[in-house]
Amino acid sequence: MSEEKERIVKGVMEDLGLKGGSKKRLLGKLVEEYGYDEAKVKYKAKRAFITERYEREREME
């Protein structure tokens, strides 16, 4: 990972309280997709993880 990409990924993971390699890889892909725009990456990551939690909760019902 480039230094800029690594910095953005680490920053977003800290801001959202995320841990784990799979989330780091997802964020790395989002960084590339959205042209290193940290705000867009953070927004898309929040949406993805909210959707994931919602689906998990619905499966438990």
Give the pTM: 0.79
The pLDDT mean for the chain works out to: 89
The domain spans of the chain are 3-60
Over residues 36-47, the pLDDT tens digits come to 999 999 999 999
Q: What are phi and psi of 37, to 5 degrees?
A: -90, 105
Angle at 55 between CA 51 and CA 59, to 5 degrees: 170
Which one, of 3, 4, 5, lies nearest residue 25 by Cα? 5
Per-residue confidence (pLDDT) for residue 53, from 0 to 100: 75
Q: What are phi and psi of 20, to 5 degrees?
A: 110, 150
Over residues 25-36, the pLDDT tens digits come to 999 999 999 999
Q: Is the pLDDT at 16 greater than 80, yes or no?
A: yes
For 15-28, give one letter per residue: b (16+ CB within 10 A) or e: eeebeeeebbebbb
Per-residue confidence (pLDDT) for residue 58, from 0 to 100: 78
